[in-house]
Structures are given as C-alpha cells and as structure tokens.
Structure 1
Amino acid sequence: MALLLSPGVALGLLWVLCSFFLRWNELRSHQRRVLLPPGTMGWPVVGETIEFLRRGPDFLKKQRARYGSLFTSHLLGSPTVVSMDLEVNRWILMNEGRGLVPGYPQAMAEILGEWNVAAVHGAFHRVVRGALLSVVGPAAVRERLFPTLDEFIRSHLCDWGGSGGGGATVDVQEKAREMAFSSALKLIAGIETGEMATELKAEFFKLVRGTLSLAVDLPGTAYRRGLQARKRIIRLLRGLIVERRRSSPSVMKGGRDMLSLLLREEGEEEQDVHQTGPKLTDEQIIDLLISVIYSGFETVSTAATMAVKYLHDNTSALQELRKEYSEISRRKSPAEGALTWGDYTSMEFTRAVILETMRLATIVNGVLRKTTEDIAMNGFVVPKGWRIYVYTRESNYDSLRYPAPLRFDPWRWKDRSLENHQHFMMFGGGGRLCPGKELGLVQISLFLHYFLTRYRWEDAGGNEIVQFPRVEAPRGLHIRVWPN
C-alpha cells in the first residue's frame, strides 16, 4: 500500500514545495524594497519567462490590469520592472546615462558580442555609433549605398514569377529573409553568393534564433547553437579582414563596401599623427558588422513580408501604391531602369505603407535597460542591477493617436506630425535612435516598388501569423505569383 501511495505523496510534496516558492517569490518582490512596484516573480530561476514568451502581450496586459502600468516580474533570467507607461518610457529613452544603461538579456548580449552597438554605453557608444553612422547613416545611404541596393534588389526579384504561364508559389517570408541577409552581406563585404555567403547565412539564422532564449548552455538548446554560430561567424569575418589587409592598396582604396571603408579609416588614422580618435580593434569591427546584419535583418524581412500580406488584404492601399509607381515610370524614359534618390524621396505613400506595417505588426515590442543605481520612478524605486523593460507595443494601438488602431490604414501617415510625435518610438529614441533607420526604409521601399511593378499575386492559403516574441509565419507565408 505504501508503494501505491508514494507517487501521490511525492506529488503532494512537489505541490507544497512549488507553492512555497511561488509565495516566497511574491513576498520577495514586495519586501525587498518598500517602494518596489507591485508584481510577482514567478518560478525560481525561470521566473515568468515561459508565460511571457508563450502569451506575450496577453500576459503583460493581464499583469497591467492587476498591478498598473509599472510592475515587477522575472523575465529572461533577470528581475525586471515592466513599464507600459508612455511618459515613463519616454523619460527612460531620453535619459540614458542617468543611472540607466542597455540591459539586454544574457543570451542576446553574449551572442551579439560585448561591442554590439546596442550593448555599449558612454563614450564608447558614441565611438561605435559614429562608426555606424559613417557606413549606414542617411548621408552614406544617399551618397553611396543607394545604387548598390537598387541593383541588388532588382536582381533578387527578377525570377520570382517562374517561367511557366501558371505562375509560381513562393514563400515570401523565406525570400524576404534571403533578400535582407544577402543585401546586408553585399553592403558590408561586397559578396552575395559563393561558399562564404552560404556558410554565413546558415550560421546567421542560428545566431538569430539564439538571441531570444534562456542562457542555458546545454546541447541542443537555441542558446548553445547561437553561441556556436557566433564563433563560426567570427572565424569567417576574421578571415575576410585578414584577406582585405593583404590586398593591394588600389583594391583597398577602391572598395565601396563597409568593411573596406572601416579598414581604410584605420589606415588613414595610422598615417595621421594628429588623429586622436580611438581605433577600432578587429573584435569591435566584427561586432559592428554583426550588428549591421542583425539589426536590419529582422526589421527589413518582417516588414517586407507583412506589407505583402496587408496589401493583399487591402486593395485600396495596393491600388494607391501602384498609382504612385506608375507616376514614377511615367516620368522616366524606357532606358532608365534604375530608381534614383529623387524617385525614392517621392514615394510618400510607400513610406506610409511601411510605417503602418511596422505599427500594426509591431516588429519591435520594446527595449531593455539596466539600472546602475537605485532609480526613483513614479513613486516607486527600481533597485540597482535590475532590468527595465520599456514595453512600447501598446502605444502602437493607442486609439487617441491611431483611430481604429487594428485597421491597416496607411493614409493616417499622410499627417507627418505622427512621425514627430513625442511618443513615436518605432525606431527607438534619444541617443539610441536607430542609426540604420534610413537604410531599412530604403530597402523595404525598393522591394515594394520592384515587387509591385513586376508581379501580381494571391494568397496560397494556410498562412498562420504569430506576433510574439517575433512576428513570423511559423510554416512560411506562401503566395502564388505571376509576372505583370
């Protein structure tokens, strides 16, 4: 009989133990500091991470309804205060350095590297950001990168429709990811095909998956695969740097990709005895290049994918875009295949479609900061060493700024004041405003222009979309495509 009862006893003890830990964590969240925001810490070690990753927005809305717009939790390995308050979020983004630094989860920080622009702060953040702006900022995009991107995306889209009259079925999500990665590789290293490109692509997709995971270094985990992918990517990029340094001065001087520019600046610094700026090490250059690929990859590929879906479901917006592109074609001679910078800046409705896609899909849910001292906030105190999750997703559905917020309505962005609103945070804010914002907008704009002018399409069916923790179609977004 004792043997028959032992499983029940074991389950009972387990229930008591779990209840104790849950209660202990809830008490700990209230007792550590009298003014700590209310909330729960969840299970030991994992906290509330599993529910957060599984239910995402619904979980956070439930906690806000229970505790208010500022509440404690334990997410992705750290005690965290979640802020869903617009004014608090803006204050945090505008006040880095006042007890606040980037606070990305351990997995993301380790896989992207310690010199990743999203992780560094203080004086070195200014150095890395300056280096990034020199290679991907608005001036670089306008004066150097635009023709390369135009040529690449035209070529990438040339065979989507297949050769038969019946059209072709493609996974637009997969195609958009290939386009985003390959265009980034073209810009940073001047390569898009070949053995190195294939190997980098395979490793990079593992790296992306590993960044949003618990830092559990066990065989088979996304974190372990992400770390291994980072090591292989470092090896490949380091080899590329060595190869560039061995090339002739004329090759180095004539190179137009980001790596050539960074190495050329390095050479110029060595020759200039008056140069006082810090020189980037190879490790820093590699992390900077990984940052460029990673930061653009998700935004560009996801926005391109979701724009195709939203335009398929909204024929009025699709017709307005085609009208915009017809007007551009009318102004150009048949021999002028490429778009110019002037053509791009005239695509006002295209920009509106992109911003509305990013708003409705909410590609970026928020950012993380870490406290370097106790921070007073809205009558509470966030302890030193805690994370603050600046959750900006809900601001995208504020019905006061966006009437009928769940409707795809690009026309709302005709009012350019929306982009200048103090709570517009799609590209970050303050000193962390995304340095590659213009680059991303150009890539998506070129994609939409060439896709819509070359093809018509229909939904192939069975396309499920999930919106947290990443916006994606788990089984792909399949469309049937015909040449125009």
Structure 2
Amino acid sequence: MVVLAMVIGLAVSLLVTCGAVLRWNEVRYRKKGLPPGTMGWPVFGETTEFLKQGPSFMKNQRLRYGSLFKSHILGCPTVVCMDPELNRFILMNEGKGFVPGYPQSMLDILGRSNIAAVRGDMHKTMRSAMLGIVSPPVIRDQLLPKIDEFMRSYIDNWGGRVIDIQEKTKEMALMSALKQIASIETGPVSEALKAEIFRLVLGTLSLPINVPGTNYHQGFKARKRLVYILRQLIEERRVSGCYHDDMLDSLLKIDDSSRGKLDDEQIIDLIIALVYSGYETVSTTSMMAVKYLHDHPGVLVELRNEHLEIRKGKSREDAIDWSDYKSMRFTRAVILETLRMATVVNGVLRKTTQDVAMKGFTIPKGWRIYVYTREINYDPLMYPQPLSFNPWRWLGKNMDSHQHFMLFGGGARMCPGKELGTVEIATFLHYFVTRYRCANSLIFCLE
C-alpha cells in the first residue's frame, strides 16, 4: 500500500508540474492582441504534434481557434494563417513588414547564403547567379540533353522487376541533380553525397537543439561533411582547369567584375539549396504522379498518347528536345494536378520586421507567420470536385502562373528553378509511360 501511495503521489506531482509548466508557457506568451491558440511546452512548443500530425494538427487547431491562430513550432513563436485573402497579401508584400522566416534549423543547415533566406542586394546577387545556370536557354541547350540521357539510362534497368517507387524517385531526383550541377556520376562520391543529403533533409525541419542523436545534430554534421566534399571538388576543378560544361563550371567562371560573382561559401550554399529544393519537389511529385496514373487508367492513356506522338519518327535512343518538351501540354497538366492533390508545398514561412495588424490581431515583431496554403488546393470554389484527380481542368489555363505557386510556394520571390524541376518530371514521365506499363502492386513490366 505504501508503494502504491508513493507511485500515485509521484504521478499526481508529475501531472501538477506538467500542468504548471504548460500554464507558465501560455502566460509567458499572453499579450494583448495576439490571436488565440496554444504554445505547448517551453523550447519544444508544439513541434512534435506539428511534425507528426501534419495537416490533422492544422485542421484541429483551425476548428478550435479559426483561420488565424498562434503556436510555437520549430523553435519559434508562430502565427499560422489559413485565410486565403491574408495569405495572398502576405506573399505579395515582402518589404512591408514581412521577410523570409525560415526556421533556425533550416538556416543553419542550408547556409546563411541560401537564396530562400537572404534578401536585399544579397538576394539579387544569388538570384542573378542562379538565373545564369537555370535560365530557359541554358535548360534548352545544356541541361535538357543531360536530363534526357540520365532518365533514359536510369529507367532502363526497371524492366521485369518490382520497384520501390518512393526510393527510386528519391534516388533519381538526387542523382539527376548531381549530374547537372557537378557532372557527378554513380560511384563513391555520389554515394557519399547521397547519404549526407538524406541526413541533411531530415535536419532542416527539426528543433535546433544540437544534441547527439537529434535530427538537427545529424543534419548539421551532414552539412559540414557536404561542405568539405564540395570544397574539395571546387579545388580540384581549379587545379585541373578541365572543362565540364555543368553548373559548377558556370559558377566558378563568373568574372570578378560581374554582379553575379560569388565566393566559395556562397557557391556551396547555392549548390546545397539547388540539390535540396530539387530533391524534395522532383522526387515527391514524380512518385505521386506514378501513383495517380496507376489509379486513373484514363489519364494514363491520354498521357501515353501524347508521348507516343512525340516518339513518332524517333528511334529508341533518340532524345527529346525543347520543342518536344514545350508540346507536352497534357503532361504539364498532370504535373499541376499532382502538385494540387499531393500538396507537395504546404506553405511558406515569413517573419515580421515590425508589429503587424491582421484581422483585429497584432503579430509582434520577430514572430514567424506560417502562410498555410494547403487547403486552397481543395477549395471547391477554385477547383470543382476538388478531391477528383482531373488534369483536364488545367487545359486552356495559364499553367505557368499556377506552377510557380504550387511547386515552390509563390509570392514575390518566385523560384528561378521551377522550369528545371518541371523539365525533369516531364522527362521522367515521358520515358516511364512510353517504356513501361502500370500493373497491380506497382510492378512495371517492359513492353
């Protein structure tokens, strides 16, 4: 009985302590004018619920508090905005109290010169350098041939095997990016980079607590190793003087007098950002497109017809060119509908540079605003029968403007790499639907 009483007493004390700590954290952030919501635990906030529950967490909080509520996620006090009109205002008004507000974990791991985080003159410099290596003429003349060659060789070993499409599209997106950026082929260097990039991705969305065993710690270590490998690669390029015709060559050969001249740290951060953004968007969109094609045979037939038409007059080894890519209207519609249904981009983060009034509330200076756009994708006023996979809804529309927003988040700072990502996904789908057929259990059989 004594032991039982002690256990009960300990449990009660623990509950009281937890309740007091939670209450203290709520009082700490109680300020007149703040939106309603909960702040969770000190330091940790509601990060665990946010990462584990995802959309369910957002939906539950919205039901309780409305479309504007406060929380504490990824180490920052944050206001979540799920109001479409407010979201458009925030995204289109950088410089009027809003700047990029990526969490500390992402800033530390992707680098301080990450194009998504910098602003002002530095953003112009980084954007200029990126535009120089992913502009439509560069994609047309230099990158598309590399992407085509890579996709053909990568997909060719899928015949007659059971494929884990999630793992394969992750590897595909990463290896394609490494080839374009630094002419890195499959081998020891690519395997080393792949392992570090996988760890880096996990660390970017985590609490910035540098303790062994945490995703942040692993991601930060992965960044250090990536920086070391990329530094060696840059040094080897300078010593050898060999021409590689890739993005790294272009970045290293920018003249000192050019506005787009970057130092080595900035080049490394730009490369890491390119790999990171391409890996996430290209791999997820490619995987989900295969899933939707498997589930919707009519869409698959239409898509295959478009690509079989492109292959007319070509041999099996003939590459597709820019005019072939530009003719892929239905393919682009499939990509957009996949992005909408799969919500590859849930939203973007902004940070307030001053106290900001929103719908009768005041968001304090230095707080993050999570511009949560996921639910717009299922708005029946914008998309009739929003839960139906219907690529035909995009035909006849300006697909470019939608693609900017849905693939990379949108707003005033459109991502210069969006066309490149679309080209990669479209090229993958071209060879997938012309060389393989979907069967049950996602077994791909060579035709």
Q: TM-score with structure 1 length normalisation?
A: 0.89
Say yes or no: does 1:323 pair with 2:305: yes
Q: 1:181 to 1:276 in 2, by over 3 A?
A: closer
Q: Render the CA deviation track for 1:110-138: whole Å, top value 9, x for unaligned.
A: 11111111111121011111111111233
> Contact (CA 8 Å) 2:129, 2:260: kept in 1 or not?
no
Give the distance between the partners of 2:365 and 2:381, measured in 1 at CA. 35
Give the distance between the partners of 2:404 and 2:16, measured in 1 at CA. 46
| SS of match in other structure, 1:384 | coil
Q: CA deviation at 1:191?
A: 1.4
Identity of aligned residues (%): 58
Q: CA deviation at 1:379?
A: 2.0
Counterpart position of 1:369: 350
Q: Render the CA deviation track for 1:433-460: whole Å, top value 9, x for unaligned.
A: 1111000000000000001101113242
> Contact (CA 8 Å) 1:45, 1:77: kept in 2 or not?
yes
Say yes or no: does 1:247 pair with 2:240: yes
Counterpart position of 1:262: 251
* 1:34-73 aligned within 5 A: 34-73=32-71
Counterpart position of 1:483: 446
Counterpart position of 2:194: 201
> Contact (CA 8 Å) 1:177, 1:297: kept in 2 or not?
yes
Q: CA deviation at 1:417?
A: 4.2
Say yes or no: does 1:393 pair with 2:374: yes
Amino acid at match of 1:429: G
Amino acid at match of 2:187: G
Counterpart position of 2:393: 412
Amino acid at match of 1:483: L
Amino acid at match of 1:361: A
* 1:250-329 aligned within 5 A: 251=242, 254-265=243-254, 268-269=255-256, 275=257, 277=259, 279-329=261-311
Give the distance between the partners of 2:152 and 2:285, measured in 1 at CA. 18
Counterpart position of 1:378: 359
* 1:193-232 aligned within 5 A: 193-232=186-225
Say yes or no: does 1:347 pair with 2:328: yes
Q: CA deviation at 1:2?
A: 4.8
Q: CA deviation at 1:278?
A: 6.2
What stretches of structure 1 of length at least 5 have no aligned partner? Answer: 162-166, 270-274, 461-478
Give the distance between the partners of 2:408 and 2:285, measured in 1 at CA. 13
Say yes or no: does 1:81 pair with 2:74: no
Give the distance between the partners of 2:295 and 2:414, measured in 1 at CA. 32
Counterpart position of 2:111: 113
> Contact (CA 8 Å) 1:26, 1:39: kept in 2 or not?
no
Amino acid at match of 2:426: S
Counterpart position of 1:177: 170
Counterpart position of 1:472: none
Q: Render the CA deviation track for 1:96-116: whole Å, top value 9, x for unaligned.
A: 122222111121211111111
Q: CA deviation at 1:413?
A: 0.8
> Contact (CA 8 Å) 2:345, 2:406: kept in 1 or not?
no
Give the distance between the partners of 2:228 and 2:189, measured in 1 at CA. 11
Give the distance between the partners of 2:398 and 2:436, measured in 1 at CA. 33
> Contact (CA 8 Å) 1:392, 1:425: kept in 2 or not?
no
Query: Runs in 1 of length 4+ with deviation above 3 angstroms?
Result: 1-4, 24-29, 333-336, 417-426
Counterpart position of 2:25: 25
Q: 1:423 to 1:221 in 2, by over 3 A?
A: closer
Give the distance between the partners of 1:303 and 1:99, measured in 2 at CA. 33
Counterpart position of 1:132: 130
Q: CA deviation at 1:425?
A: 4.5
Amino acid at match of 2:103: P
Say yes or no: does 1:148 pair with 2:146: yes
Q: TM-score with structure 2 length normalisation?
A: 0.96
Q: CA deviation at 1:431?
A: 3.1
> Contact (CA 8 Å) 1:77, 1:214: kept in 2 or not?
yes
Query: Which residue, 418, 428, 434 being the options, matches 1:437?
Result: 418
Q: Render the CA deviation track for 1:317-354: whole Å, top value 9, x for unaligned.
A: 00001111121122x34377110100111010000111
Q: 1:386 to 1:294 in 2, by over 3 A?
A: same
Give the distance between the partners of 2:63 and 2:135, measured in 1 at CA. 41
Counterpart position of 1:13: 13
Give the distance between the partners of 1:276 and 1:288, measured in 2 at CA. 17
> Contact (CA 8 Å) 2:345, 2:409: kept in 1 or not?
no
Q: 1:208 to 1:175 in 2, by over 3 A?
A: same
Q: Render the CA deviation track for 1:215-234: whole Å, top value 9, x for unaligned.
A: 22222221111111111111
Q: CA deviation at 1:43?
A: 1.9
Q: 1:243 to 1:152 in 2, by over 3 A?
A: same
Of the structure 1 ranges 292-301 and 139-148, higher mean CA displacement relative to structure 2 is found in 139-148
Q: 1:48 to 1:336 in 2, by over 3 A?
A: closer
Give the distance between the partners of 2:153 and 2:368, measured in 1 at CA. 44
Cα RMSD of the aligned pairs, angstroms, is 1.9
Q: CA deviation at 1:364?
A: 1.0
Amino acid at match of 1:115: S
Q: CA deviation at 1:428?
A: 2.4
| SS of match in other structure, 2:77 | strand
| SS of match in other structure, 2:208 | coil
Give the distance between the partners of 1:62 and 1:388, measured in 2 at CA. 18
